[in-house]
């Protein structure tokens, strides 16, 4: 080394680190932010005897951190990045033959392993900021452990983190030693400044920034969930800040020069406001920052196995994240952290972010595992086992793309896709486009979709692609070189592959399930996978008839379309012909209470064409009725009064006597439609009115069918000879009858061989209830007197005897005329 290393808190841990790496070959280092572990420890390990001439790999979760850490280490050596310390990431590198410490992003490490599973020339692999638990970090550690166990027992592994359950990671690493280091930080005063319930987060952050600029000293780092919110806050601040304040955004989609400008210290005499995503949480020190303003929010990808979609969701940042953010204010001196929520809410925040492996699309992981010779990812040593539903969805997708065979082995197509270092859908798009001579334009589109901000942020991907192709900036130039490399790797050589094809046509090979058809309301679309999406009505895409959607944000049927491209129906039909199904669709029409039939062409959930066909008949009609009842419920059946009454009687018998009397509740009938209803359907599109009585009676064992009328008769004959219907719609059967028709009856009405008394509802001559009784003789002897006094005055033309037991029953108003 050309110069001595500075003394930082992590220096105290060097002896323990050296001892662990010499004796066990692997360890976990837990040290707080600012300890110097990212920059100082790798430089220290250059002196280790076990390194020989081997290279040390330092893995960082983000490109910004990888570049900054490499440059800082190189500066400590009095060099520039690319000499002893270099870095490599997608579209950018600074490496030479003398590089001994190579800082790489976690995804690059996976590629290195798959290209050279023995990791020849690598002495140690250091996983930095492992607490972020990216999918690439988890997979990289699983691969490294497998390599160390099978091929390279001399490979040193070191996992570092500021906020991590070190014991759990150590257990995964064969009970590796855990070394705990101290940190160097100044006290941070945490203040809570909750935003109002109806206040946008952008307004709250802008207000907090203005207040802090007026009342406090030092530069400000404000954390927001995403680029959209950052740009809004920047616009809100505008000219409403002092003239000596610079406002700089910091997010992943910015080019390297702008990212570097954001993390540089403010020019002397000026202050800086850095508006950042969670990219600034760790591995970075922005000099001069004394104030942190935390929105408490983060934007994370959430994968839905049911639809195969990954959507962006804004969530509460974890406790570990908000502590990391607050710590940014205490790097240089005592600082201030302003949190835009109530203090009590901090306890409800999850302790850690959900590991990406539990919430991500695992198709690339499964493809890479197959390339590594592992057919079942769960066989590797993961800190958290990949969820089975996501693995199944990934296997199914890779089978559809013909990247894997039925045994989970890599196919030739899969090998070609893996070479491209793209998400599997985009890799499939490029390999297919090469066959049409459009490999280069497909590779360019793949980069526009996988590199945030490349070509701008227009929702219309054709416009974004055109802007990228015309961009002369440094980042665009690097991306163009990478696009040519990707196209060449996919087989597009020389002039081949330079054909221009619209983005929508290309995307059909990536996401055929995301073809979207306009719903009729401007800007609203239904996707082939059943989801709903919307485009801002101010955008030209909202007028399109068809789109292919690349990105969505939000849930269910109201997702916001973030990027898409126009496609025409002719192209869809030509390219997705195998995906289009043609089938007769039988459905129930409520207005006519009959079955109809349509011939439908469908692309998933999208109906392409509809043609009316003759109504179904025979077995098709019977099956359609069963499906319609399951879908719409029992009410669509032709319930007559007789059928309803029979069902109530059977229900009462089952409730009172149990089996073998049938259960005719909604739940039971719907569960057994094929048993009781199907045999009585007559193969017609319209059901006859009498079939339900026969179908219900068919549920009753033959030996009991004659007992239905005996035990649960439909009518009761009263003294006048009238047959009065019995109601079975309550807890007990009810007889509603005019009181005069029961005169002279000394025995309470009953059914079921006089074993079940009826509830008698006594009616006035006008048919209104005057008394409910379960003891008619008792009523005659008791309450009749009270009823008599009231009824004689109301109905003077009717008979109201003092002794109803001695009176003759009557249906008429006057005696002598019956």
pLDDT one-digit tens code per residue, 74-88: 999 999 999 999 999
Closest-CA residue to 274 (of 298, 293, 297): 293
Among the three residues 659, 693, 711, which one is the final residue of a domain in this structure?
Answer: 711
pLDDT score, position 306: 61
Distance CA 528, CA 190 (A): 49
Closest-CA residue to 366 (of 416, 413, 418): 418
pLDDT tens digits along 6-44 = 888 899 999 999 999 999 999 999 988 778 899 999 999
Please give the tally of structural domains in the chain.
4
pLDDT score, position 314: 85
Residue linked to tokens 């007889």 = 735
Q: Which residue has the higher pLDDT, 559 or 121?
A: 121
Distance CA 238, CA 256 (A): 24
Shared-domain flag, residues 162 and 275: no
% of residues, the chain, pLDDT over 90: 68
pLDDT score, position 162: 78
pLDDT tens digits along 645-669 = 999 999 999 988 888 999 999 999 9
Shared-domain flag, residues 235 and 127: no
pLDDT tens digits along 301-347 = 777 766 666 767 888 998 888 988 888 888 888 999 999 999 988 88
> Which helix (H) or strand (E) is 17 found in, with range?
helix 14-23
606 in Cβ contact with 528 (< 8 Å)? yes
Phi-psi region of 804 (alpha: psi -120 to 50; beta: other; left: phi over 0): alpha
Shared-domain flag, residues 162 and 306: no
> Which helix (H) or strand (E) is 526 found in, with range?
strand 524-527
> Which helix (H) or strand (E) is 58 found in, with range?
strand 55-60
Closest-CA residue to 131 (of 164, 158, 104): 164
3-state secondary structure 285-328: CCCCEEEEEECCEEEEEEEECCCCEEEEEEEECCHHHHHHHHHH
Q: State how far the alpha carbon of 124 is from the alpha carbons of 53, 95, 646, in Å.
A: 11, 18, 81
Distance CA 450, CA 213 (A): 37
CA atoms 676, 681, 687, 691: torsion sign: negative
Does the pLDDT value for residue 598 go beyond 70? yes
Q: What is the mean pLDDT of residues 281-294?
A: 82
pTM summary value: 0.73
Which tokens is 448 given? Answer: 């526009």
Shared-domain flag, residues 157 and 222: no
pLDDT score, position 680: 93
Helix (H, G, I), strand (E, B) or coil at 677: coil
| In a domain? residue 428 | no
- Find the helix packing angle between 363-371 and 135-150, rounded to 10°: 20
DSSP string, 415-478: HHHHTTTS-HHHHHHHHHHHHTT-HHHHHHHHHHHHSTTTT---SBHHHHHHHHHH--SHHHHH
Does the pLDDT value for residue 495 go beyond 70? no
Where is average pLDDT lowest: 21-25, 163-167, 487-491? 163-167
Asked if residue 660 has a cis previous peptide bond (ω within 30° of 0), the answer is yes
pLDDT score, position 775: 92
Does the pLDDT value for residue 755 go beyond 70? yes
Distance CA 168, CA 483 (A): 41
Shared-domain flag, residues 802 and 699: no
Q: Describe the chain by its helix, strand, coil percentages, rounded to 5.
A: 40, 20, 40
Q: What is the mean pLDDT of residues 43-58?
A: 95
Distance CA 758, CA 773 (A): 9
| In a domain? residue 407 | no
pLDDT score, position 818: 43
| In a domain? residue 273 | yes
| In a domain? residue 448 | no
Shared-domain flag, residues 741 and 667: no
Which value, in Å, is the radius of gyration of the alpha carbons in the chain?
39
Measured from the Cβ of residue 714, the count of other Cβ atoms closer than 10 Å reads: 14
| In a domain? residue 2 | no
Shared-domain flag, residues 784 and 735: yes
| In a domain? residue 279 | yes
Distance CA 323, CA 355 (A): 18
Shared-domain flag, residues 64 and 96: yes
Among the three residues 128, 158, 180, which one is the final residue of a domain in this structure?
Answer: 180
pLDDT score, position 340: 95
Residue 234 burial by CB count (10 A; 0-12/13-18/19+): exposed, middle or buried? middle
Q: Note the maximum CA span of the chain.
A: 132
Confidence band, pLDDT 50/70/90 cuts, at residue 284: low
Euclidean distance between the first and final Cα of the chain, in Å? 126
Q: What is the mean pLDDT of residues 671-676?
A: 93
Distance CA 209, CA 245 (A): 11
Q: What is the mean pLDDT of residues 44-71?
A: 93
- The DSSP 8-state label assigned to residue 267 in this structure reads P
Q: Which residue has the higher pLDDT, 35 or 416?
A: 416
| In a domain? residue 557 | no
Expressed as residue numbers, the domain containing 267 is 188-357
721 in Cβ contact with 703 (< 8 Å)? no
Confidence band, pLDDT 50/70/90 cuts, at residue 220: very high
Q: Pairing state of beta strands 188-192 and 335-339?
A: parallel
Shared-domain flag, residues 761 and 800: yes
The CATH number of whichever domain residue 304 belongs to comes to: 3.40.50.300
Shared-domain flag, residues 123 and 228: no
642 in Cβ contact with 627 (< 8 Å)? no
Confidence band, pLDDT 50/70/90 cuts, at residue 817: very low
Does the pLDDT value for residue 628 go beyond 60? yes
Shared-domain flag, residues 192 and 212: yes
Shared-domain flag, residues 94 and 176: yes
pLDDT tens digits along 681-738 = 989 999 988 899 999 999 999 989 999 999 999 999 999 999 999 999 888 899 999 9
Number of H helices, E strands in the chain: 27, 31
Among the three residues 311, 327, 357, which one is the final residue of a domain in this structure?
Answer: 357
Q: What is the mean pLDDT of residues 452-457?
A: 88
223 in Cβ contact with 280 (< 8 Å)? yes
| In a domain? residue 569 | no
Distance CA 483, CA 91 (A): 10
């Amino acid at each position: 080394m050309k110069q001595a290393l500075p003394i930082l808190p992590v220096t105290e841990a060097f002896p323990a680190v050296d001892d662990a790496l010499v004796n066990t070959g692997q360890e976990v280092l837990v040290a707080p932010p600012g300890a110097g572990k990212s920059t100082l420890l790798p430089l220290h390990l250059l002196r280790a005897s076990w390194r020989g001439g081997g290279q040390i790999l330092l893995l960082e979760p983000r490109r910004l951190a990888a570049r900054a850490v490499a440059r800082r280490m190189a500066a400590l050596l009095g060099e520039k990045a690319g000499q002893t310390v270099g870095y490599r990431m997608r579209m950018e590198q600074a490496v030479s033959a003398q590089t001994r410490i190579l800082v790489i992003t976690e995804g690059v490490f996976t590629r290195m392993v798959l290209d050279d599973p023995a990791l020849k020339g690598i002495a140690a692999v250091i996983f930095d900021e492992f607490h972020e638990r990216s999918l690439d970090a988890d997979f990289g550690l699983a691969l490294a452990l497998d390599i160390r166990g099978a091929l390279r027992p001399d490979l040193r592994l070191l996992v570092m983190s500021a906020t991590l359950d070190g014991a759990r990671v150590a257990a995964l690493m064969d009970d590796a030693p855990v070394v705990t280091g101290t940190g160097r930080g100044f006290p941070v005063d945490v203040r809570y400044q909750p935003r109002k319930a109806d206040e946008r987060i952008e307004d709250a952050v802008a207000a907090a920034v203005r207040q802090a600029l007026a009342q406090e000293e030092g530069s400000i780092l404000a954390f927001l969930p995403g680029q959209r919110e950052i740009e809004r806050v920047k616009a809100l601040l505008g000219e409403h800040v002092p003239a000596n304040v610079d406002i700089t955004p910091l997010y992943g989609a910015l080019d390297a020069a702008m990212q570097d400008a954001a993390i540089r210290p403010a020019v002397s005499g000026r202050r800086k406001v850095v508006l950042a995503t969670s990219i600034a949480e760790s591995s970075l020190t922005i000099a001069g920052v004394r104030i942190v303003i935390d929105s408490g929010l983060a934007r994370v990808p959430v994968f839905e196995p049911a639809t195969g979609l990954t959507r962006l969701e804004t969530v509460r940042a974890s406790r570990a994240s908000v502590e990391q953010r607050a710590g940014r204010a205490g790097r240089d001196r005592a600082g201030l952290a302003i949190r835009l929520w109530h203090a009590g809410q901090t306890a409800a925040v999850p302790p850690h972010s959900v590991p990406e492996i539990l919430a991500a699309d695992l198709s690339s992981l499964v493809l890479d595992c197959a390339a590594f010779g592992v057919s079942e990812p769960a066989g590797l040593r993961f800190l958290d086992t990949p969820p089975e539903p996501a693995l199944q969805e990934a296997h199914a997708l890779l089978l559809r793309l013909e990247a894997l065979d039925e045994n989970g082995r890599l196919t030739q197509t899969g090998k070609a896709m893996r070479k491209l270092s793209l998400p599997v859908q985009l890799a499939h798009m490029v390999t297919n486009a090469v066959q049409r001579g459009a490999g280069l334009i497909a590779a360019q589109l793949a980069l526009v979709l996988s590199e945030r901000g490349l070509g701008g942020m227009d929702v219309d991907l054709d416009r974004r692609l055109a802007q990228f192709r015309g961009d002369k900036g440094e980042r665009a130039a690097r991306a163009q070189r990478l696009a040519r490399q990707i196209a060449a790797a996919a087989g597009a050589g020389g002039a081949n592959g330079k054909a221009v094809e619209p983005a929508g046509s290309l995307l059909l090979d990536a996401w055929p399930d995301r073809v979207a058809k306009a719903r009729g309301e401007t800007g609203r679309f239904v996707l082939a996978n059943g989801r709903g999406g919307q485009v801002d009505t101010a955008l030209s895409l909202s007028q399109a008839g068809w789109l292919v959607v690349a990105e969505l944000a939000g849930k269910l049927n109201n997702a916001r379309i973030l990027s898409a491209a126009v496609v025409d129906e002719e192209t869809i039909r030509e390219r997705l012909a195998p995906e289009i199904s043609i089938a007769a669709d039988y459905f129930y029409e409520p207005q006519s209470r009959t079955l109809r039939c349509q011939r439908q062409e469908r692309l998933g959930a999208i109906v392409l064409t509809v043609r009316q066909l003759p109504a179904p008949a025979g077995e098709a009609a019977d099956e359609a009725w069963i499906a319609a009842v399951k879908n719409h419920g029992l009410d669509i059946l032709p319930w007559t009064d007789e059928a309803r009454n029979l069902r109530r009687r059977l229900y009462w018998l089952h409730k009172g006597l149990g089996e073998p009397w049938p259960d005719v509740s909604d739940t039971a009938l719907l569960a057994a439609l094929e048993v009781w209803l199907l045999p009585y359907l007559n193969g017609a599109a319209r059901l006859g009115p009498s079939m339900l009585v026969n179908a219900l009676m068919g549920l009753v064992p033959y030996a009991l069918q004659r007992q239905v009328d005996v035990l649960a008769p439909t009518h009761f004959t009263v003294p006048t000879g009238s047959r009065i219907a019995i109601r079975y719609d309550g807890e007990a059967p009810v007889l509603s009858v005019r009181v005069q028709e029961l005169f002279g009856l000394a025995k309470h009405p009953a059914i079921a061989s006089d074993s079940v008394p009826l509830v008698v509802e006594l009616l006035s001559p006008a048919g209104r209830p005057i008394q409910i009784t379960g003891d008619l003789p008792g009523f005659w002897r008791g309450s009749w007197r009270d009823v008599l006094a009231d009824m004689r005055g109301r109905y003077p033309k009717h008979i109201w005897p003092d002794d109803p037991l001695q009176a003759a029953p009557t249906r008429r108003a006057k005696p002598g005329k019956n």
